[in-house]
């Protein structure tokens, strides 16, 4: 194909020594470019022109925008997150695995989701359940083999679904070959793959010997300092998460090329994209100054958005994503809503979308639980609609493997209201603006776990916090455990509840890796799938509705009553098609009078068998949800 751009560049470059065109480093050519002589240009033209007749480049037809949005598959997707360790055990070792996932693909297809996000499946010593990777091109032995992975991927494709995998490249495992080499000596070729720094002089030890202190006061997300002293070279290495999760030095171009190459490895296998773990943390301030007291309050924000973050995301896009039809979603710890368009703006060529933590952590004060309140949640969604325009796509989620169960946190998991409130939350997630992400088990209304003691937990975040706060006497054990019953990540990591058989049908082993929630006898997939009025089948109807009516994807969003403390009422409008969503977030009945401007046409769906009598006042039962079509 005659590439005019290439010719001009060729002409421009004639006589300059820049690296090949798509070389990663932006070609900064400092040598004074002697303009190519006229003879050179003429010569180049003479050589090239006769070769390829100049065809006027037929500009690609302008994509037909929908309500100003460029339609794409990942905007119309409904994503289901699988936490492989807890989904389905196929070989009786008590640990979920990939053949277990493959055996349940029809269950997911029937639900109607069309993209599966697989939490890490790579070789790992599981210090943080796979978010500590030892080999990026190898499947975790407990989860199966590469052949199992390929079979699962083929099964997903056969069912016209897609797969995105977890990209964990802010840090590796300390057992990864790169780190094993890096810690050997200061001049090891891999030394600069990580951050090594000298300690600061500390007080004289009881043995009279000088001690050292960490290079700065950076805390780890998993308690303690973010620096670990390594006696081999008497230096400290950085780990924002666990000691066994050293941070990669992205300022080292070799590190970046290694990352791009492993991404290509999985994309060339047919994977459709990545969920990128704590991706805003990849660029650090190499001076590592101490954090100020303010920054220490929310050090996630201090660690995020480093000096080269955007450069590296754009370079990654140029080198990898731009060459594939992929979906990318960044887990954007420390990124504000206002900063979001700089990462997801379609003219930025970085990521397609991100997870902001504002809504999902709206039930927290620091690490402490506080009941979620509707007004805060609504204000967050209205803010998203104001800040993110048609060039910045959004995500919608209120649960994942790092947060407690959605029905227990934002709904009401009491026997009377667990089902309606789980259905109401599904109604909200699947009708708000942005790509919805559902977490395994929420389609069954799975609840938080009745943790009683520290021994019930598996999560390193909990165990480290227990050592740092309870063992040191700073926090009372009961207070600590009580808070975790509302906040712990292990609430959503209890094994999937498939049926009423032992261990909820998750495993035939005597003991699963983490205890099954004892309420599996009432709450399980077998019961849900066979009950037409179940949360599972209601969610399937909502997903089908979203697939048919693009108003729920590209339509404008408008909160009609932002101040209302118990009713969430909003419209989604696309052209002449408009829907009204009414959600009663309280357990009490509410008589809600609709604004006279609203002309209701018909009831589309509700989570309680409501009359479809159209009245101007809606008598809503506790946790009732309705969707109306407007005239």
**Which position among 97, 247, 277, 516 is part of the footprint of ligand TEU (CB under 6 A)?**
277
Q: Which stretch binds Ca ion (CB under 5 A): 61-69, 81-89, 490-498, 557-565?
A: 81-89
93 binds Ca ion (CB under 5 A): yes
Q: Which entry of 123, 128, 218, 331 is annotated as an active-site residue?
A: 331
Task: Please report, to the nearest 10 degrees, the dihedral formed by the alpha carbons of residues 18, 19, 21, 22 taken in order.
Answer: -140
131 binds, among ligand TEU, Ca ion, none (CB under 5 to 8 A by kind): ligand TEU
> Is residue 179 close enough to count as binding ligand TEU by CB under 6 A?
no
CA 283, CA 389: separation in Å to the nearest integer?
27
Q: Which is nearer to ligand TEU, 105 or 468 (CB)?
A: 468
Q: In the complex, what is the shortest distance from the CB of residue 611 to ligand TEU, in angstroms, rounded to a whole number?
A: 44
Identify the three-state secondary structure at position 562: coil
Among 113, 133, 168, 276, binds ligand TEU (CB under 6 A): 168
Instruction: Give me the catalytic one of 97, 132, 174, 277.
Output: 277
CB 234 within 8 A of CB 215: no
Tell me the per-residue interface mask from 566 to 605 with ligand TEU, x by CB under 6 A, - otherwise: ----------------------------------------
The tokens of 20 are what?
A: 């090949």
Q: Does 95 help bind Ca ion (rule: CB under 5 A)?
A: yes
Beta bridge partners of 135: 123
Three-class SS of residue 300? helix
Residue with Cβ nearer ligand TEU (99 or 280): 280
Give the tokens for residue 529: 């799938």
Q: How far is the CB of 3 from ligand TEU (least distance, A)?
A: 42
Contacting ligand TEU within 237-276 (CB under 6 A): 241
- Count residues contacting Ca ion (CB under 5 A)? 5
For 426, the token pair is 């599904």
Which residue from 489, 493, 549, 626 is in contact with ligand TEU, where contact means CB under 6 A? 489
Looking at beta carbons only, is 250 or 520 nearer to ligand TEU?
A: 250
- Please report how close the Cβ of residue 89 comes to Ca ion at its closest, in angstroms: 4
Binding of residue 97 to Ca ion (CB under 5 A): yes
- Looking at residue 469, the DSSP 8-state letter turns out to be I
Q: How many CB atoms lie within 10 A of CB 203?
A: 8
DSSP letter at 43 equals H
Count of all residues that appear for the chain in the document: 631
Q: Which does 89 bind (CB under 5 to 8 A by kind): Ca ion, ligand TEU, none?
A: Ca ion
Q: Which stretch binds Ca ion (CB under 5 A): 95-103, 199-207, 261-269, 429-437?
A: 95-103
Active site residue 331: yes
Site membership for ligand TEU, residue 538 (CB under 6 A)? no
Q: What HEC string does 340-363 produce?
A: CHHHHECCCCCCCEEECCCCCCCC
CA distances to 81, 312, 390 from 385, rounded to whole Å, are 24, 28, 10
Least distance CB 145 / ligand TEU (angstroms): 24
Could you tell me the CA-to-CA distances from 266 to 13, 271, 327, 569, 602 in Å, in that order? 35, 6, 13, 42, 47
Contacts 24+ apart (CB under 8 A), 300-305: 300/221, 300/333, 300/334, 301/334, 301/336, 302/334, 303/218, 303/240, 303/333, 303/334, 304/280, 304/332, 304/333, 304/334, 304/335, 305/280, 305/334, 305/335, 305/339
CA angle, 136 as apex, 133 and 138 as ends, to 5°? 105
Q: Which does 277 bind (CB under 5 to 8 A by kind): ligand TEU, Ca ion, none?
A: ligand TEU
Rounded Cα distance, 218 and 195, in Å? 13
- Residue whose CB is less far from Ca ion, 91 or 145: 91
Out of 97, 402, 442, 516, name the contact with ligand TEU by CB under 6 A: 402
Catalytic, 175? Answer no
Tell me the window of 84-92, 129-137, 179-187, 254-262 that interacts with Ca ion (CB under 5 A): 84-92
What's the min distance (Å) between Cβ of 333 and ligand TEU?
4
* 278 touching ligand TEU, by CB under 6 A: yes
Measured from the CB atom, the residue of 218 and 277 that comes closer to ligand TEU is 277
| DSSP symbol at 57 | P
Residue keyed to tokens 């007080």: 203
Q: Are 277 and 168 in contact (CB under 8 A)?
A: yes
Instruction: Identify the H or E element spanning 109.
Output: helix 105-111
For ligand TEU, the binding residues in 446-485 under the rule CB under 6 A are 461
Q: Which residues pair with 355 in a beta bridge?
A: 331
Out of 122, 131, 568, 585, which residue is the one contacting ligand TEU (CB under 6 A)? 131
Q: What is the contact surface with ligand TEU in residues (CB under 6 A)?
A: 128, 131, 168, 221, 241, 277-278, 331, 333, 401-402, 461, 489
Residues with active-site annotation: 277, 331
Q: What is the contact surface with Ca ion in residues (CB under 5 A)?
A: 89, 91, 93, 95, 97
């Amino acid at each position: 194909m005659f590439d005019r751009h290439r010719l001009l560049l060729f002409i421009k470059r004639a006589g300059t020594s820049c690296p090949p065109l798509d070389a990663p480093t932006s070609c900064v050519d400092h040598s004074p470019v002697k303009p190519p002589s006229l003879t050179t240009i003429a010569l180049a033209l003479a050589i090239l022109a006769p070769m390829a007749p100049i065809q006027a480049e037929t500009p690609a037809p302008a994509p037909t925008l929908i309500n100003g949005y460029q339609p794409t598959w990942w905007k119309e997707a409904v994503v289901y997150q699988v936490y492989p360790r807890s989904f389905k055990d196929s070989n009786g070792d008590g640990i979920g695995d990939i053949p277990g996932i493959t055996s349940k693909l029809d269950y997911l297809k029937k639900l109607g989701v069309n993209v599966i996000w697989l939490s890490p499946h790579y070789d790992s010593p599981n210090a943080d359940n796979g978010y500590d990777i030892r080999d990026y091109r190898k499947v975790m032995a407990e989860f199966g083999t590469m052949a199992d992975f390929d079979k699962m991927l083929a099964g997903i494709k056969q069912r016209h679904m897609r797969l995105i995998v977890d990209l964990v490249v802010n840090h590796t495992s300390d057992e990864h070959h790169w780190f094993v080499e890096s810690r050997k000596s200061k001049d090891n070729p891999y030394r600069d793959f990580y951050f090594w720094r000298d300690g600061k002089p500390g007080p004289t030890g009881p043995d009279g010997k000088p001690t050292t202190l960490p290079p700065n006061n950076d805390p780890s997300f998993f308690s303690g300092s973010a620096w670990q002293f390594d006696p081999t070279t008497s230096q400290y290495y950085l780990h924002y998460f666990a000691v066994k999760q050293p941070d990669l030095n992205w300022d080292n171009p070799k590190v970046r090329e290694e990352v791009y190459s492993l991404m290509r490895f999985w994309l060339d296998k047919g994977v459709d994209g990545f969920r990128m773990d704590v991706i805003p943390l990849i660029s650090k301030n190499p001076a590592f100054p101490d954090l100020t007291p303010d920054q220490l309050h929310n050090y996630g924000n201090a660690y995020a958005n480093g000096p080269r973050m955007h450069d590296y995301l754009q370079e990654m896009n140029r080198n990898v994503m731009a060459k594939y039809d992929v979906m990318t979603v960044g887990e954007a710890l420390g990124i504000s809503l206002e900063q979001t368009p700089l990462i997801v703006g379609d003219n930025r060529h970085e990521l397609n979308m991100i997870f902001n933590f504002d809504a999902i952590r709206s039930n927290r004060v620091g690490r402490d639980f506080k009941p979620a309140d509707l007004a805060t949640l609504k204000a967050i969604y209205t803010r998203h609609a104001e800040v993110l325009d048609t060039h910045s796509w959004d995500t919608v989620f209120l649960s994942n493997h790092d947060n407690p169960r959605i029905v227990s946190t934002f709904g009401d998991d009491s026997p009377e209201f667990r089902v309606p409130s789980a259905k109401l939350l599904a109604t909200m997630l699947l009708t708000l603006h942005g790509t919805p992400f559902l977490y395994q088990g929420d389609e069954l209304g799975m609840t938080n776990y009745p943790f009683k003691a520290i021994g019930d937990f598996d999560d390193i975040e909990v165990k480290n916090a227990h050592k740092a706060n309870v063992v040191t006497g700073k926090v009372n054990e009961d207070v600590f455990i009580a808070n975790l019953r509302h906040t712990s990540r292990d609430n959503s990591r209890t094994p999937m509840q498939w049926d009423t058989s032992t261990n909820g049908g998750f495993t035939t082993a005597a003991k699963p890796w983490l205890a099954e929630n004892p309420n599996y006898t009432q709450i399980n997939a077998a019961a849900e799938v066979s009950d037409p009025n179940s949360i599972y089948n209601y969610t399937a109807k909502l997903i089908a509705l979203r697939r048919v009516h693009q108003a729920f994807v590209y339509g404008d969003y408008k909160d009609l009553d932002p101040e209302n403390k118990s009713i969430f009422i909003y419209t989604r409008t696309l052209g002449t098609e408009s829907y009204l969503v009414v959600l009663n977030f309280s357990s009490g009945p509410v008589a809600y009078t609709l604004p006279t401007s609203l002309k209701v046409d018909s009831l589309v769906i509700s989570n309680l068998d409501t009359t479809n009598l159209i009245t101007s006042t809606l008598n809503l039962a506790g946790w009732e949800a309705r969707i109306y079509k407007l005239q």
